[in-house]
Amino acid sequence: MIGVVILILLSMCLQGTKGEDENFISFGCWGGEKKSRDRQREIGKLMGKVAKENGVRYAVAAGDNFYRKGVQTTMEDRWRETFLDVYPEEVKFHVALGNHDYRGDIWAQVNYTKINPARWNLPYPYHTVVENGVKLVFIDTVLLERCVVNKDKPKLYKARCWDNMLQWAWMQEELLKDFTGWKVVVGHYPLHANGPHENKKWLVDMLCPLFTVANVSLYINADNHYMQYSLYEGVYYLNSGGGAGYMPHTPHDKGYRVSLHSLWHFFADGIFLHRTTPTYMIISAHTPAGMVHNITIPNRNNKGAVFNLQTIKQRVQNSSLPPPLSLFPLSPPPLQTGPVSFYYYYYLIVFLLLLAVLFYTLLKRITGSTKRRR
């Protein structure tokens, strides 16, 4: 009863501070595999309902945007079938990449930002968005994995770690900048989640100390296909993988494990609604059947960042990870277009062949017509 009263009071405070509040939705693993599209459409309807009731302008998409093999171009039907026709057009997507997205051409998703900026925002595989006191730092955990796993294999490292670990330097700079609002990090891979997908130790050791020191309040991930959160060293870790893009996960899945830091989990498709004020955030879990849970978390960064820069530098220097090109670069790495996809050449050759056949047919008709006249 006391908890209900507290929640009502917090909700009243949220309503009474409009202009300083920021409401958004998070979810992931939403990429519309054929057998899951009915479930995905249910989540799309749910998003529209929650967005309308709470004044939501944007959603945070935590990766695996197109099952199972990403997309190859910006013109594929998948953009319409599992994105444009499914989710409310008034909700803009700020996007992170997942492992299934890397099975296609990630630069197609980057370039779609230029084609439809009102609906889609992925200007680079890692990027920052600031919305009304909320700083969202989108990281590419799949790229980090490619760099770290291949650090002792020079040829693979050069081929797969295409940014030479610049993301690691950029991430530190972004998170340690002076910012008095919310610091929220978004990535695909989990750090303290339950589920069949492991919390990779190297990633936990790499990111969690930085999050704690930089006063990050929340890390949003996907990868595991349900809803769950953990608390570790003051930072909340939210597994928002209920996007219904692929088969759901259950405790009976092979390799399923429970994090020692887990506080709550719910095995269903769904989304999280985030309602923020300068000092706290109410996170509520919604499924097509209704709201199932909520929690209030504090803003660890409300009084500005307090961090020990020397500690961070020392930890990086002692790390076995490949050193970044610059520990704190002055600017993010330049925009890249990436390698041209195989499908580009395939479609180009097909087009040229069709053009040649058309030219040959026309030439034959003209020649035949000339002979008949003679």
Question: Which of the 8 DSSP states describes residue 332?
Answer: P
End-to-end CA distance of the chain, in Å? 100
pLDDT of 323 reads 41
pLDDT of 357 reads 85
Residues counted in the chain = 374
Task: Spell out the residues 6+ positions from residue 173 whose beta carbon is closer than 8 angstroms to its own.
Answer: 328, 329
**Six-digit token string for 133:** 């006191």
Best CA proximity match to 280, nearest among 138, 134, 178, 136: 134
132, 287 in Cβ contact below 8 A?
Answer: no
pLDDT of 369 reads 64
What is the residue type of 92? K
Residue 220, beta-bridge partner list: 186, 238
194, 258 in Cβ contact below 8 A?
Answer: yes
pLDDT of 321 reads 42
**Six-digit token string for 24:** 């958004």
**Six-digit token string for 30:** 């939403």
Averaged over successive runs of 10 residues, the pLDDT of the chain (374 residues) comes to 44 42 94 89 97 97 95 96 97 97 97 97 98 96 96 93 96 93 97 90 95 96 95 96 85 83 94 96 96 95 53 47 35 39 62 85 75 59
207, 223 in Cβ contact below 8 A?
Answer: no
**CB burial readout 325-349, b (16+ within 10 A) else e:** eeeeeeebbeeeeeeebeeeeeeee
pLDDT of 9 reads 43
pLDDT of 32 reads 83
CA distances (Å), 297 to each of 99, 169, 225, 292, in order?
29, 28, 23, 17
71-79 contact pairs (CB < 8 A, 24+): 71/104, 71/105, 71/108, 71/109, 72/104, 72/105, 72/108, 72/341, 72/343, 73/105, 73/108, 73/341, 73/343, 73/344, 74/108, 74/111, 74/112, 74/115, 76/108, 78/32, 79/112
